[in-house]
């Protein structure tokens, strides 16, 4: 007999192989499945069964693992930080007791992942859990024995590093967990042929002394494995979830067999109730203007609708009492402000009369050029400068991507420009400033003196006179000079190299070369 049902993802425990750790490549091998038998509970009928994963290579779909499946932290997948590595390669190989599933995983080199990889390397963290979905089961049932569900078509989805062996009951928690279609093939023994409707397992509520059908967990809830009592656990209380007790008028229903239709009806009712709870919680969260994360927490904790509403109201009242001030500032960022302060401190040191010291520049006022260079190296490039000699520090400061060389260049340019603009200019009364679009020669007409005016008698005529003119040709030329400044300038704290020398160049360009060139035209 064949039928198709939807099943959620399952998880199983596995283990790292610390001896295969490659510290340089951040890789390690793991055994993610040996196909061992695991006792589970049928989420539709509530009956226990033994699950066996067939490790026949033809029965295992490795596409997801070999396609770059993630290595997660304890099956958490709500944020990018939950991914701690990636599956490099997965394969099935013969082992001591049959086929085994192996994989090579590579850990991320993020700082928060380093302690996890260190524990794996030291053999402290050994447990791994594999999440998988089953596409086809072959079920064998025999009288007096637990049914055996053999997965003959299944897919491992992801691997997780976990503190202890994976507990299926602590699997993926989401508002609506994904399921996958699974084909069920029943194979019954001869003695089971007359049992078409095996009775469901029942549990007894000692407090009410009432026999209750074992609750079937609907889709969207956790699926714990049955707890087998041992000497250590027999006396411990076990937390369970069950359906509400039947009403007195429904007592007759307790004696009948739970059918598949009953199970499906309960599942649909439970899903409808859960969806309504989620919708109402998030609707209240939006209306009360509460952070989405607070509502997510209530959903994950399974808080009832009434309690969730009260919690949302309390949270909204708490936040409404807080005064929220929105301040918008417009200005320069920290680096721009710092660079301007250093420039001002250097210019004030050169010419305190024309460059007044700003408040931001006061902390740089007493520093030498070498001390400023050290600060920029440490802040901009995050380099440790302890132990460097003065010459090494100066060399790195002038050959770096920090803003310090740019600041020195700005100081030199401003000094040069100020000197050029303040130099006396005697040619301006008889010269006119024009613009040039390129470097080609340009010609301008120069008018001469106008002729003397002649007297015009009564009834006489006006005479024509000549107008003197000339022309001058000019073009834009490029002039310049390079002066080398070595690291000794920083070591000696010689600010004049960046201020006095550019000032002399500015004065020379304005007073000597420009003056001589302009006066040469009229002499």
Residues 20 and 86 in one domain: yes
Identify which of 158, 182, 232 has the alpha carbon closest to the alpha carbon of residue 44. 182
Phi, psi of 248 (to 5 degrees): -55, -40
Residues 29 and 118 in one domain: yes
Residues 166 and 314 in one domain: no
- Per-residue tokens: 128: 């791994």
Q: Is residue 81 part of a domain?
A: yes
Identify which of 495, 496, 498, 489 has the alpha carbon closest to the alpha carbon of residue 391. 489
Residue-averaged pLDDT of the chain: 73
pLDDT at position 91, please?
92
Residues 72 and 177 in one domain: yes
Ranking 88-102, 126-140, 432-446 by mean pLDDT, the lowest is: 432-446
Q: Is residue 294 part of a domain?
A: yes
pLDDT in tens, 140-187: 888 888 889 888 998 998 888 888 764 333 322 233 344 555 555 656
Residues 318 and 339 in one domain: no
Of 449 and 205, the one with more pLDDT: 449
**How far apart are alpha carbons 179 and 170 in whole angstroms?**
16
Residues 37 and 168 in one domain: yes
Residues 407 and 511 in one domain: yes
pLDDT at position 445, please?
72
pLDDT at position 371, please?
82
Reduced 3-state DSSP string for 102-123: EEEEEECCCCCCHHHHHHHHCC
Q: Is residue 307 part of a domain?
A: yes
Q: Is residue 260 part of a domain?
A: no
pLDDT in tens, 193-240: 444 444 433 333 333 333 333 333 333 333 444 434 444 433 333 333
Residues 104 and 79 in one domain: yes
**Tokens 């029965």, residue located:** 59
Identify which of 68, 59, 77 has the alpha carbon closest to the alpha carbon of residue 9. 77
Q: Residue 406: helix, strand or coil by DSSP?
A: helix
- Helix ranges, 35-155 (H): 63-66, 114-121
pLDDT at position 397, please?
73
pLDDT at position 360, please?
84
Residues 279 and 380 in one domain: no
Final residue in a domain of this structure, among 134, 162, 192: 192
Q: Is residue 230 part of a domain?
A: no
Number of structural domains found in the chain: 3
Q: Is residue 424 part of a domain?
A: yes
Report, as an integer, the average pLDDT of 28-48. 80
pLDDT in tens, 315-363: 888 876 655 555 666 655 677 888 888 888 888 888 888 888 888 888 8
Residues 318 and 336 in one domain: no
Final residue in a domain of this structure, among 151, 172, 192: 192
Ranking 241-245, 265-269, 306-310 by mean pLDDT, the lowest is: 241-245
Residues 405 and 305 in one domain: no
pLDDT at position 97, please?
79
Final residue in a domain of this structure, among 165, 192, 219: 192
Of the pLDDT bands very low, low, confident and very high (cuts 50, 70, 90), residue 246 is: very low
Residue pair 149/51 in contact by the 8 Å Cβ criterion: yes
Residue 396: CB atoms within 10 Å: 19
Q: Is residue 164 part of a domain?
A: yes
In the chain, the percentage of residues whose pLDDT exceeds 70 is: 67
Structural domain boundaries, residue 179: 2-192
In the chain, the percentage of residues whose pLDDT exceeds 90 is: 8
Q: Is residue 349 part of a domain?
A: yes
């Amino acid at each position: 007999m064949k039928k198709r049902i939807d099943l959620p993802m399952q998880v199983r425990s596995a283990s790292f192989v610390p001896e295969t750790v490659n510290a340089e490549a951040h890789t390690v091998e793991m055994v993610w499945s040996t196909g061992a038998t695991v006792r589970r509970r049928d989420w539709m009928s509530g009956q226990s069964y033994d699950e066996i994963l067939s490790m026949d290579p033809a029965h295992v779909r490795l596409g997801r693992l070999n396609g770059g499946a993630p290595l997660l932290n304890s099956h958490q997948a709500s944020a990018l930080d939950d991914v701690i590595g990636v599956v490099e390669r997965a394969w099935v190989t013969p082992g001591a007791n049959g086929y085994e599933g192996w994989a090579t995983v590579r850990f991320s080199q993020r700082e928060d992942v380093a302690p996890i990889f260190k524990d794996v390397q030291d053999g402290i963290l050994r447990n791994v859990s594999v999440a998988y979905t089953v596409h086809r089961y072959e079920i064998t049932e025999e009288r007096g024995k637990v049914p055996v569900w053999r997965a003959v078509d299944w897919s491992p989805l992801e691997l997780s590093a976990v503190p202890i062996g994976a507990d299926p009951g602590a699997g993926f928690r989401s508002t609506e967990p994904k399921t996958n279609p699974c084909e069920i093939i029943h194979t019954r023994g001869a003695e089971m042929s007359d049992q078409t409707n095996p009775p469901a397992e029942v549990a007894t509520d000692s407090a009410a002394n009432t026999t209750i059908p074992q609750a079937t967990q609907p889709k969207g809830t956790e699926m714990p494995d049955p707890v087998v009592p041992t000497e250590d656990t027999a006396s411990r209380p076990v937390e369970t979830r069950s359906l509400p007790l039947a009403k007195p008028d429904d007592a007759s229903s307790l004696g009948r067999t739970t059918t598949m239709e009953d199970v499906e009806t309960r599942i649909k009712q439970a899903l409808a109730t859960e969806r309504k709870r989620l919708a109402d919680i998030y609707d209240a969260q939006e209306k009360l203007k509460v952070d989405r994360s607070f509502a997510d927490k209530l959903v994950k904790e399974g808080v009832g609708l009434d309690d969730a509403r009260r919690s949302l109201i309390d949270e909204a009242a708490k936040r409404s009492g807080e005064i929220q001030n929105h301040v918008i500032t417009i200005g320069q960022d920290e680096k721009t402000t710092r660079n301007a302060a250093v420039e001002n401190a250097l210019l004030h040191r050169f010419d305190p009369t024309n460059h007044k010291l700003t408040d931001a520049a006061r902390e740089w006022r007493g520093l030498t050029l070498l001390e400023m260079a050290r600060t920029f190296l440490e802040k901009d490039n995050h380099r440790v400068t302890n132990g460097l000699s003065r010459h090494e520090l100066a060399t790195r400061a002038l050959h770096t991507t920090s803003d310090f060389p740019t600041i020195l260049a700005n100081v030199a340019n401003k000094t040069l420009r100020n000197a050029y603009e303040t130099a006396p200019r005697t040619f301006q009364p008889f010269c006119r400033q024009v613009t040039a679009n390129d470097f080609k020669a340009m010609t301008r007409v120069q008018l001469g003196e106008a002729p003397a005016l002649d007297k015009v008698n009564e009834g006489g005529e006006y005479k024509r006179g000549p107008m003197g003119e000339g022309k001058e040709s000019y073009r834009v030329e490029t002039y310049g000079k390079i002066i080398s400044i070595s690291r000794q300038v920083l070591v000696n704290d010689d600010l004049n190299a960046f201020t006095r020398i550019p000032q002399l160049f500015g004065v020379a360009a304005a007073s000597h070369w420009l003056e001589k060139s302009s006066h040469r035209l009229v002499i």
